[in-house]
Amino acid sequence: MYYEIGPPDVFRYEDVPDPVCPPGCVLIEVEAISIEGGDTLHRAGGVLTVTPHIVGYQCAGVIREVGEGVTERKPGDRVVLTVPFGSHAERVSVASHGVWLVPDSLDIREAACVPIPFGTADDCLFEFGHLKAGETVLVQGGAGGVGLATIQLAKRAGATVLATASSDEKLEQLRPFGLDEGINYRTHELVPEARRLTGGRGVDLVVDPVGTTLQDSLACLAYRGRAITVGNMGRADRTLDIGSLLQGNQSLTGVFLGAEMGTPRVHAMIAAHLDNVAAGKLKVVIDRAFPLAEAAAAHAFIESRQAFGRTLLIP
């Protein structure tokens, strides 16, 4: 938790009263917390809805108590959930319809990493990106959680997949997940390289969770190309020149999974991704896990841009 926003060292590891379990809710003993990009952004510059504030959007664990009126869940069920805040804790209470059952064959740590990254990737590619087989996708920040999910889903849909990363080593690590061509943004300029890799045409779809790269993402688009901006890991000021979109009949769409998280469409979509991860059809990559007491170190590790895949907290 923290009492003020700021760098990772604002975190305090303290005891607080256990959350209650109101009617319609379930009380969960948390076993794994996936740190999302929004968690670090909120800690650095978000609004404290309560003080002290327990940050965190996503976790997984075991139901210990069900509230009055809950019939579809029971104590002992393994579940994964998303919440507006509060996942960086040993226990969390949430509405029963806001959890997904974890398949028996799926490790709880992997389950903790599924809903937001894979749900976000799915919406960026299909619901709002309108990806079709045979098109070319550029994924900014391919080694992140959303990036890895996007690469896998795009390749499975029959797309040619390009992605950026900070090193050749990371790009090589992405190839087993479906990467066709990688761009090391430390050694190559993005736009001319993306043009070269597409024979000068450009890409049909860009998925950009970074923010600071968005202007270049637009410049990579083919005629009638689509750009998706999702998240803002680079903390960009969002000032853009969109004049190029007009001449190319191109589009820019903002995506926020949280706005549709409670819909039947998204709930069913994420349940399917959990089943696919359990069956080995999709992969979750966990870089490392930190004890909950070391949340500051975990956030600092993410912000160092060293991680490949997800970083967890374990209560």
**What is the C-alpha radius of gyration for the chain, rounded to an integer number of angstroms?**
20
CA pair distance 226, 149, nearest whole angstrom: 19
Order of all β-strands in the sheet with 136-139: 181-184, 160-165, 136-139, 203-208, 221-229, 251-254
Across 110-247, the runs of DSSP E, i.e. the strands, are: 136-139, 160-165, 181-184, 203-208, 221-229
The answer to whether 109 and 78 have CB atoms below 8 angstroms apart is no
Helix axes 37-45, 295-303, angle to 10 degrees: 100
**CATH number of the 8-113+284-314 domain:** 3.90.180.10
Q: Does residue 197 have a pLDDT over 60?
A: yes
The answer to whether 63 and 10 have CB atoms below 8 angstroms apart is no
Q: Does residue 214 have a pLDDT over 60?
A: yes
- pLDDT, position 233: 65
Domains of the chain: which residue ranges?
Answer: 8-113+284-314, 117-258
Residue 137: strand pairing partners: 161, 205
Q: Does residue 267 have a pLDDT over 80?
A: yes
Q: Look at residues 146, 190, 125, 129 and name the one whose alpha carbon lies nearest to residue 164.
A: 190
List, for residues 14-58, the tens digit of each pLDDT value.
Answer: 999 999 999 999 999 999 999 999 999 999 999 898 999 999 999
Return the DSSP state at 180. Answer: S
- pLDDT, position 237: 66
Domain 117-258 has CATH 3.40.50.300: no
Q: How many CB atoms lie within 10 A of CB 280?
A: 8
Mean pLDDT of 115-135: 98
List, for residues 158-173, the tens digit of each pLDDT value.
Answer: 999 999 999 999 999 9
Question: Helix, strand, or coil here: 30?
Answer: strand
To the nearest whole number, what is the mean pLDDT of the chain? 95
Q: 272: which residues sit within 8 A by CB, 6+ positions away?
A: none
120: exposed, middle or buried (Cβ count in 10 Å: 0-12, 13-18, 19+): buried
Task: Decide: pTM greater than 0.75.
Answer: yes
CA pair distance 161, 46, nearest whole angstrom: 33
List, for residues 82-102, the tens digit of each pLDDT value.
Answer: 999 999 999 999 999 999 999
List, for residues 219-263, the tens digit of each pLDDT value.
Answer: 999 999 999 999 776 555 667 889 889 999 999 999 999 999 999
CA pair distance 243, 3, nearest whole angstrom: 43
